[in-house]
Amino acid sequence: MKIRPGRNSKKPTKRHLSLRRFQKALGVAPSLEASGDKRKTKVVGGSDLCRLSLWQWVYTRLEPKRSRLKNEIGEFLGEKLVAEKEAGRPVKLVRMKIAAIGTRLLFRELVKALASEKM
């Protein structure tokens, strides 16, 4: 959530970040480029440091079964990672896809915590 001055009133107003902007800030939101017959998806913008940290989190905490997180989110992401790898998808693509799903789950948990804090 950002607090900005209002356009006309100049009073502080609150503005919620969207999921897409949150993912973009963390460096995992893909941008689509299309021209004619070519379609290309790549990650542009965001924090390189956050993207690297997310990749390391997936590589060290979700991929090895012995150090996998012992909660429902860790189990869900770990099972999805194993299923994607067994399907024969490229490992780098699978890791970034799992990181993107993890950021989506993180965003939902943060919004839920913020909503419960307001009540």
Domain count, the chain: 1
Give the per-residue pLDDT at 101.
Answer: 94
pTM given for the model: 0.75
**Tell me: the pLDDT tens digits for 33-68?**
666 777 776 666 778 898 899 999 999 999 998 988
**Tell me: the pLDDT tens digits for 14-28?**
666 788 888 888 888
**Tell me: the pLDDT tens digits for 100-117?**
999 999 999 998 888 887
Give 3-state DSSP helix, strand, coil % of the chain, rounded to 5.
60, 15, 25
How many angstroms separate the CA atoms of 33 and 10, rounded?
38
- In sequence order, what are the residues at sequence separation of 6 or more whose Cβ sits closer than 8 angstroms to the Cβ of residue 76? none
How many angstroms separate the CA atoms of 30 and 24, rounded?
8
Cα-based angle 14, 28, 118 (whole degrees, multiple of 5): 25
Distances in Å between the Cα of 44 and the Cα atoms of 24, 27, 33, 62 are 8, 7, 11, 24
Q: Which domain holds residue 84?
A: 2-118
Place of tokens 């940290």: 53
